[in-house]
Structure formats: C-alpha cells, structure tokens
Chain A
Amino acid sequence: MLECRILSPCGILGYGYPMESFLEGIKQEPHAIVVDAGSTDAGPHKLGAGIGIVSRMAVKKDLEPMLIYGIKKDIPIIIGSAGGAGAKPHVEWTLKIVKEILQENDIEEEIAVIWSDIPKQRVKEGLKNNIIIPLDNTSKLTEEIIDDTNGIVGQMGVEPILEVLKRGVKIIICGRAYDPAPFAAVGIYNGFKPALSYHLGKILECGALSAEPGTTKDCILGILRENDFLVKPLNKERKCSPISVAAHTFYEKDHPYILLGPGIRLDLSKCSFDQYENGVVRVSGSEIDYTDPYYIKMEGARKVAFRTFVIAGIRDPLMIEKIDKIEEDILKQVEAYFKEIPKSDYKINFYNYGKNGVMGEKEPERFRGYEIGLLMEVLAKDQELANTICAALRSTLLHYPYEGRKSTAGNLAFPFAPSDVEFGAVYEFSVYHLIEVKDGLELFRIEYLGG
C-alpha cells in the first residue's frame, strides 16, 4: 500500500458535519472512517452519571452515512470513546444506535465491541501491588475512593483495535480510547510508521479543527505515506496551513511536542510542517518511544453533592458597590437560620458574572461594570436540602436591607419564574491515575456480535 487514507467526519460523534464534505471524503476512497466520540473536556458528569453530551438523534444522524458508505465500500468504521466517556452504559447506548441503523437499512454485519471498564477489584489489587501512580495533582487513590466511584475506565491504545482489524471486522465500537489511538491503529494495521500514525491521529481526532477556519463540525482527510503524512480539508471553504496544523499539535496537551499515550511517548520536536499543495499540509519527522513499563490511564468519577442554583441580575449601583460585603452577610444569615443543620452538610457559592465570574480569584482586572449576573449555587448532601437552602438564600438576598439601600422593593432581577433550578448530582474526577499493565491488551475485553 503506497498510502493510507483515513476519513475523520467530525471532532465528536454527534457534533454533525456537512454531507458534501463527507461525500468528498468518500470520493477519495478512504481505507477507514474513524470518529472520536468522547472527551473528559465536559467534566466528570458524563462518566459519573453514565450519560453523554450529545443527543441520541444527533449520533444517529452522524453515524448513518458513516455505516452505510463504510459497509458499501467494505472499509472499517471505528468509533473511539463511545457515548462520550466510553464506560459500559455509553458503549451500550452507542451499540443500540448502531444496531438500529443496521436493521433499518437491512445490513447484516459483524460488530466488535472493545470494552474498557476496569473491575474495581482489579484496581484495588493494583493499589495493593503498588502499581498505581497519581497524575497531575490528583489525590492518592484509596479503597474508599474506588468504592465510591461509578465505573472506572482505562484509555486503550492501538493494541486491542489492531486485534479486531486483523480479524477483518468492519464495525468497531471502542470504549474509552486514547483519542488518537483508533486513527493510529488504522495506519499501523496498514503497515505505516507508528509515530506518523499516532501524530496523524492526534490531528484527525478533532475533525477539521486543524484547518482554517477551524471547526470540529466538518470532515478532514489524513493521508499516511512512507515517511510523512498529509492533512487535507474536504470542504473548499477550509485550508490547512503549516501554522494551523503545527498549532493544532499544541491543542489541549500540557506539552507542545511531547505526548504521552498508552505505552508510548511521542516526540514531535523534530517535526516539520510544510505546504504540500493549496490547503494541504505535509508533516514529517514525528518520533515515538515505547515506554517500559506500559501504563494505562484510568478515569473514574464519583458523586460529591447535589446542586440547586438560581440566576439573577443586579443593576442597582449601590448594591453593586457593596456586593462582596452583601454576599458575606447573606451567608451568615442563612447559616444562622439553618443553625440546626451542620455546616458541613452544605455549601453556598456566589458567582458574580461581569465582575470575576469566569476567573474568580485569578481575575487581575479591576471591576468597572454597571450590572452583575449573579449565579447563586447551593451544594448539599441531598437534593431536598439543596432546594431548601437555595430557596431561603434567594428570598433572603431578594429582600436584604443592605446599608444605604434606596431600592426597598427588591434586590434581584430574576429572568425566569420559578427562579430556582434543581440541577441534580454533581460529580468529580476521583480516579485519574496510571496503572501498570503487562501489555496493551490485558485490560480490554473484545466481544464480537452478530454478522
């Protein structure tokens, strides 16, 4: 094979893509259609609650052309990090949609599912054997945290996907995967250099974000060759430039040219990016090392509280001038009113949008606005308590007679009635640790269905 072409329809399955771009991609005779469906970007809620961030209808709409054209062309269709977080409920949700599309279009085709859930017992054993390493500033893992966590997944590398490709199965649903891995697996399976394959995967997993104008909602084609790869937008409106592609290599990683993945360390320091033809960029010089021992990144989320919140506007200049002091006073009043409830059972947060809502303590700019969007949040050990405290907090602030007040009818402009919003459970990433494994296959069970 002289070159391997990989079609990435969009940055997240369910974000959508223009049909013209997709058909342009199909016209280029791709060797696989690969799409990333997950991310930790949207926070721990998806993983903790077992739900996604895109709708079922959107996923179905995106998947249908991928499956129909992919099967017709007899090429693999690979979904990475299915359902948003790649845990069992996410994979099952995706599998159901895939089956529905196949049935509606009278397609009979074998499906491979690569599960990425790690049994809690396995993680606990890892703890005992001292083969778990915390990442960044996560806390040390304990048995208690493992018990509290709703499902733990591991980020797979290329190994289990290669197993499935070797069997010739065309529809591959991956649980949690290192974002570039499903793309890289296609390149490596077809005999191309792992370093180039992984680097291309890193660029393709975001759809057309590496083009200009960049977006995750459009298709892009990656072309692997012996000693380099090309990145080619499929929409005439977008072009790749050496800067846009090099810049994308930076994207959402903590280091600009060293990327750590499952069992690998990608070194892009010697890469060159040049304009190959109009809108197409050529990349070469990517290098890879295999790590010993082999580590898999685990992710898990646990429930930490229930939330109720209220949004209100403040326009009175006298109140805005004293806002910090007023919020302090309100906190004290609410605490005094609920003195029978231990303070550790709930927490109140004020977010003053227009002042320092986005950056909080990190905001270097001095406030000079004339209105504040106030978000008041109550977190409590159960939903009823959160609702109760939020209602009291809201009514206390609405009528609070702060010093110097002239607007004695009410302090808050509520955009909605009712004003309080019951949010539900709040999660945190409780597991974000590495676990040592003997190889890239060990943790990932492959299941073959139908056909």
Chain B
Amino acid sequence: MENTLYELAKVIRSKNSGPFKITLDILFDEKSKYERVKNSGVLTKEIISKLYNIPKTSITGLIFFDQALGIKITFLRDISSGTIGDRDVYGAQQHAPLMEILIP
C-alpha cells in the first residue's frame, strides 16, 4: 500500500539556511518509517526538481541522516531572502509540495 509522505513523517518543514538557500527537513519518529522512505528511492533530486520547478543543479544537497531519522534537502533561492521579488523571507512555507509524495 502506498502512503503519502505527510502520513509517514513526523515533521515536514522548510526554512532559510542563510539568506541564499532554503532547506527542507523531513523527520520521522519511527525507524521503520524512515527506512521505508529512505529505501523506497523515491526521494531524489529529480523529484524535487520537478515538484519545485527548479533545475537539478540548484539542489545543493539531499542527505539522509540515520541517527536523527531525518532527510535534508537544500536548494539555492533564485531570489535572496527579503529583497525584491522574494515571497517568503524566512523560507518557512516552502515545504507543502513534499507532503503529497507517494511512498510505496
């Protein structure tokens, strides 16, 4: 059965990592759920690039951290925090597209 990332994760959030990057965190409270997402192979730079309509080269990292049962994805902002054309100064509301990702 497939589940959405929203159903499996304890925390799905976004935030600035400095004024020029946005970082997405997906955190779990059970090892089995984390392993299931990690081993599914669904979370790739390709899917992030498609979901966020950004080139793969803008994604500076997609890292699994086993001890913390967490996944971190960081990408470059096209507009730096708080200047002309920025829509999210803290980068705190850029996580929603992750929620509907389907995990087998």
Contact = CB atoms under 8 A, between A and B. Distances in A.
B8 to A, nearest CB: 14
Contacts of A379: 84
B42 interface: no
A347 B85 CA distance: 10
A363 B32 CA distance: 31
A42 B83 CA distance: 11
B21 A250 contact: no
A90 interface: no
B54 A362 contact: yes
Interface string B72-104: 101011001111111111100110110000000
B69 interface: yes
A272 B11 CA distance: 20
B74 A254 contact: yes
Given A136-B18, A243-B69, A250-B70, A43 B81 contact: yes
Nearest to B64: A256
Interface string A409-430: 0000000000000000011110
Contacts of B84: 304-305, 347, 349, 379, 426, 428
Interface string A339-375: 0000000010101000001111110110000000000
A247 B23 contact: no
Interface size classification for chain B? 35 or more
Interface in A185-216: none
A432 to B, nearest CB: 6
A255 B67 contact: no
Contacts of B77: 137
Contacts of A45: 82
Contacts, number: 141
A227 interface: no
B20 A135 contact: yes
A205 to B, nearest CB: 14
Contacts of B68: 243, 246-247, 249-250, 256-257, 273
B12 to A, nearest CB: 11
A151 interface: no
Chain A residues touching B, range: 35 or more
B18 A40 contact: yes
A364 B51 contact: yes
Contacts of B10: 243
A252 interface: yes
A136 B21 contact: yes
A113 B85 CA distance: 37
Contacts of A253: 17, 23
A247 B16 CA distance: 16
A106 interface: no
B40 interface: no
A276 interface: no
Given A43-B81, A44-B81, A273-B67, A364 B53 contact: yes
Interface in B1-55: 10-11, 15-21, 23, 25, 27, 29, 51-54
Contact of B15 (A243, A251, A304): A251
Q: Which of B10, B81, B93 has the most A CB atoms < 10 Å from its CB?
A: B81
Contacts of A272: 67
Given A42-B89, A243-B29, A247-B70, A364 B20 contact: no
Contacts of B52: 362, 364
A174 to B, nearest CB: 19
Interface string A42-82: 11110000000000000000000000000000000000000
B87 A357 contact: yes
Contacts of A358: 87-88, 93-94
A427 B60 contact: no
B20 A256 contact: no
A255 B61 contact: yes
A121 interface: no
Given A250-B25, A364-B51, A359 B94 contact: yes
Contact of B25 (A41, A138, A247, A361): A247
A107 interface: no
Given A135-B20, A247-B27, A429 B80 contact: yes
A427 B83 CA distance: 6
For the complex of A and B, list the 6 residue pairs with the smallest distance between their C-beta atoms, beginning with the closest: A43-B82, A136-B20, A246-B68, A428-B83, A256-B65, A254-B17
11 contacts: A40-B81, A136-B20, A243-B29, A243-B68, A252-B15, A255-B74, A269-B65, A269-B67, A364-B51, A427-B82, A429-B81
